[in-house]
Amino acid sequence: MSAGSESGPATRPDERLLNLVIALVNTSAAMTKQQVRANVHGYGAAASTDAFERMFERDKDTLRALGVPIVTVEGSGHSDEVGYRIDNEAYALGPVDLTPAELGVVALAAQLWSDKLLRTDMSRAMTKLAAAGAGDAAEDVVAGLTPRVRAAGDAYGPLLEAISERRVVTFRYRAASTGQVRARRVEPWRIAARGGGWYVVGHDLDRDAVRVFRLSRIDGRVRVGPHPDAYRIPADVDVDAALGARVGAERTARLAVAPERATALRARAVSAPEPDAGPPVPAGRDLVVVPFKTLTPLADEIAGHGAAVVVLEPADLRSEVLRRLRAAAALPRTTEEEEPDGRTR
């Protein structure tokens, strides 16, 4: 493919990086910059030579930071042009020897990443691990477990692209405290998962301050700005501190659970520090005390159990669960229910 022959939507940064790795692994000697631009999908769309140079240098730095051993090969003979390749011996994966528990963690992570963005790659990776002798051990270890971190959603891809290329993004965001939706202009720095959800940490341009945004509260599309290298990401970004403040201190929820129900909640239960404190537990129910930091994912989980779980306290968690249940009860029926004789009602 020639440098000027690419058309259609721009290649995503992660796809372009993968294409570059494949090309440099399979080259017989080394690839010059001109060969990369002409033959590796994703580089031919560069608007100018300078734009290609910036893109290629940034991608090399990214891959090296990820541990990909890209080496520089000096030109010889009739050419003094520098080339690039991957040191295959240094890049080769050693023998895979995972214990059942370790493989179980990998399988659980694969379930977490099984959204539309990475489903194919994760499926291939797990197939290769199984072929290496893993067998069904992973399935045995994680039987009955479900990841409590949700899929990142449609905002993840554009934000990852913006971070990779240092582009400003704009999006509409629904505030958790007021429910108001407002436009935000942000220099995104990092994406991370905490407390059951995905967050982007960055510099809010309109407020001139570091802010944290939950991806599930982004309303509509994330628009990526046209200018690359529009800002610098600080070297001392403390993601843990930013997200820790957002997620908040640990609290406990006192729940009245029907017998033999809500197994996942029971598995996370702790002993009640004051068994007689708080609202009384209804007869025929078990008191289950669950620690949590983020209200929204726990409210979603509890509401999914319906009448089997009643929140005794805290009051804000109880209100959030009731709001979800009332909203679900108000939804119109999508199909007519039939009486035993075939009539509808």
Mean pLDDT, consecutive 10-residue segments, the chain of 345 residues? 51 85 86 90 87 91 86 70 84 64 61 53 57 49 46 80 93 82 94 79 92 89 94 86 66 91 88 69 91 81 91 90 86 51 46
Q: Would residue 146 count as lying in a domain?
A: no
| Distance linking the first and last C-alpha atoms of the chain | 63
> Residue 193's domain is classified under what CATH number?
2.30.30
**What local confidence, expressed as pLDDT, does residue 52 receive?**
92
190 plus 213 within the same structural domain = yes
Q: Would residue 315 count as lying in a domain?
A: yes
**What local confidence, expressed as pLDDT, does residue 100 receive?**
59
**What local confidence, expressed as pLDDT, does residue 140 receive?**
45
Q: Would residue 256 count as lying in a domain?
A: yes
Q: Which two tokens stand for residue 341?
A: 């004789």
Q: What's the CA gap between 286 and 269, in Å, rounded?
A: 11
**What local confidence, expressed as pLDDT, does residue 66 receive?**
81
Contact 167, 186 (CB under 8 A): no
Contact 215, 201 (CB under 8 A): no
Q: Would residue 111 count as lying in a domain?
A: yes
**What local confidence, expressed as pLDDT, does residue 75 receive?**
67
**What local confidence, expressed as pLDDT, does residue 113 receive?**
54
81 plus 118 within the same structural domain = no
Beta bridge partners of 7: none
**What local confidence, expressed as pLDDT, does residue 170 receive?**
97
Long-range contacts at 39-44 (CB < 8 A, ≥ 24 apart): 39/1, 40/16, 41/1, 41/6, 41/11, 41/15, 41/16, 42/6, 42/11, 42/15, 42/16, 43/3, 43/16, 44/1, 44/2, 44/3, 44/4, 44/5, 44/6
**What local confidence, expressed as pLDDT, does residue 143 receive?**
42
> Residue 58's domain is classified under what CATH number?
1.10.10
Q: Would residue 76 count as lying in a domain?
A: yes
Q: What's the CA gap between 166 and 158, in Å, rounded?
A: 12
Q: Which two tokens stand for residue 176?
A: 């958790």
Q: Would residue 191 count as lying in a domain?
A: yes
Q: Domain span at residue 130?
A: 100-141
- Residue 122 sits at φ, ψ, to 5 deg, of -70, -35
Q: How many domains does the chain have?
A: 4
Q: How many CB atoms lie within 10 A of CB 75?
A: 12
DSSP output for 128-151: HHIIIIITTHHHHHTTT---SSPP
Element (H or E) spanning 213, and its range?
strand 209-214
**What local confidence, expressed as pLDDT, does residue 120 receive?**
56
**What local confidence, expressed as pLDDT, does residue 244 receive?**
66
308 plus 227 within the same structural domain = no
